[in-house]
Amino acid sequence: MKRGTTVDATADDWTRRAAALRLAGAHHIDGSAHEGGAVFAVVSPRDGTVLAEVADAGAAEVDLAVAAARRAFDTGPWPRLAPAARGRALLRFADLVEERRADLALTVSLEMGKPVRDAYEVELRALLATLRWYGELADKLADASPHTTPEALALVAREPTGVVGAVVPWNFPLTLAGWKIAPALAAGCTVVLKPSERSPLSALLLARIATEAGLPPGVLNVVAGDGPVAGRALGLHPGVDVLAFTGSTAVGRHYLRYAADSNLKRVWLELGGKSPNIILPDAPDLDLAAATAAWGIFFNQGEMCTAPSRLLVHSAVAERITEAVVERARRLRVGDPLDPATEMGPLIGPDHLERVRGHIRGAVDAGARLRTGGEPLPAGTGGSYLRPSVLDRVPADSRLAREEVFGPVLSVHTFDDLDEAVALANATDYGLAAGLWTSDLSTAHRVSRALRAGTVWVNCYEEGDLTVPFGGMKQSGNGRDKSAHALEKYTDLKTTWIRL
């Protein structure tokens, strides 16, 4: 591949490419650009510069997008295509995304601060895998014909639900969009996607690529705007049949209310997390456990719903593990996301930086010990950079121990026996993910069953592929992304009973 188009390129290569990148800010409705009226600025957390002026959707633009999706579903070809044809369309879409991979990765890096290497190798790899997996799955699903009496024939069919409203956050703008749109499109639904107002540019580019790949007009629409206006309009819209949301628990409650106040649309929520990572003395590799704990909390600047933000470590190995994580935090390379050598970029913006620092200050005031970090990088970059932070002696009832921080901040807690560890792990309103490190097979099974979490990783963290579902328990939400189970959100079961 040519130099300058992949992460083999240098920081200068990526910077030059960024200067030449043309970031279009129009909505994508019914297969074409729609400027709208008002605009808002998308500011890069890298250096505080304005990347683009983006069309700001109000109720009128949401109406246009939903109407386009409704026409495409009610009278267009997409739901009526053979599943294999929809699958081929998704595979063509993936191929064109692959061709534009560098531009998409660069856009993600500029708009939300993800290191460009991670944007290219992780974010885009996940999007491509998702589009291809559902493209290949589209014609592998079967309806059912249950055995009944000899005088009747029963048929149970899965039919596409209709218009899907998808609302996704800024931390993984393309991965999470892919987890929504790929199964919805494979099922035969049409989609109106609202990305976060902090990271709309990559989603708008993705929609243009979808049209270039041959998706019919109205099948995938993207409107940019904030949650209180555009998100609310989508949640309340009577033309939306299903609403799929990833974001905070507080905003998820709003979407449930919007559904109750409108057409009782189904609402699927993937919400926050405060994930525990339990390390026992018999972990097969304590050094690997410590390295993974550090990687997990600092990857993507800690702006990750599954981040293992609570390290629960047995007192026998607590200091060894904590010191290893602290040392890794101090060595972590924080800086310009366009430098492929950067390991952690900036937080999403100055407001979020101050919020995260407030959590750290509050924990210290409550009695926690700051082992490293807590301070922003020296002024002069114009970006929102924070040093990776580790705190121990964190009170179990403190805000840091109970609330989602969404930043590179690790709270360390110790325990003396397994029952105490499980109780600490479950002492949260969230239930998205958890980690466990042990060499004992029985312990692995018993603790995994006891943990109230949608995903439990044993002797690893953030592993998996498209074959397994992803989602949470308790206030971490409902429904599942990924795997064949995701199609359940976007299909209706229809029974046909024929008397013979």
For residues 454 and 415, give the distance between their C-alpha atoms in angstroms, rounded to a whole number: 23
Q: Report yes or no: 142 and 136 within 8 Å, Cβ to Cβ.
A: no
Each residue's pLDDT tens digit, 260-311 = 999 999 999 999 999 999 999 999 999 999 999 999 999 999 999 999 999 9
Contact 227, 235 (CB under 8 A): no
* Residue appearing with tokens 């007009």: 217
- The span from the CA of 485 to the CA of 271, in Å, is 18
Give catalytic residue positions: 270, 305
How does pLDDT run across 12-35, given as a tens digit for each residue?
A: 999 999 999 999 999 999 999 999
Determine the straight-line distance between the first and last CA of the chain, rounded to whole angstroms.
63
Residue 378 has a pLDDT of 76
In the prediction, which pLDDT does 48 show?
Answer: 95
**pLDDT digits 0-9 by tens, 294-305:** 999 999 999 999
Average pLDDT over residues 187-199: 98
pLDDT band per the 50, 70, 90 thresholds, residue 424: very high
> Which helix H or strand E contains 211, and what residues bound it?
helix 201-212
- Report the C-alpha gap between 471 and 80 in whole angstroms: 30
Q: Which of 218, 176, 167, 220 is nearest to 197 (CA)?
A: 167
0.75 exceeded by the pTM? yes
Rg of the chain over all Cα atoms, to the nearest angstrom: 23
Buried b (16+ CB within 10 A) or exposed e, 214-230: ebbbbbbbbbbbebebb
Residue 381: per-residue pLDDT: 74
Average pLDDT (92-112) is 98
pLDDT tens for residues 455-500?
A: 999 999 999 999 999 999 999 999 999 999 999 999 999 999 999 9
Sign of the alpha-carbon torsion through 132, 348, 169, 38: negative
- List C-alpha distances in Å: 17 to 121, 141, 283: 17, 42, 45
Q: Which helix (H) or strand (E) holds 99?
A: helix 83-99
Query: What is the torsional sign of CA 194, 200, 203, 209?
Result: positive
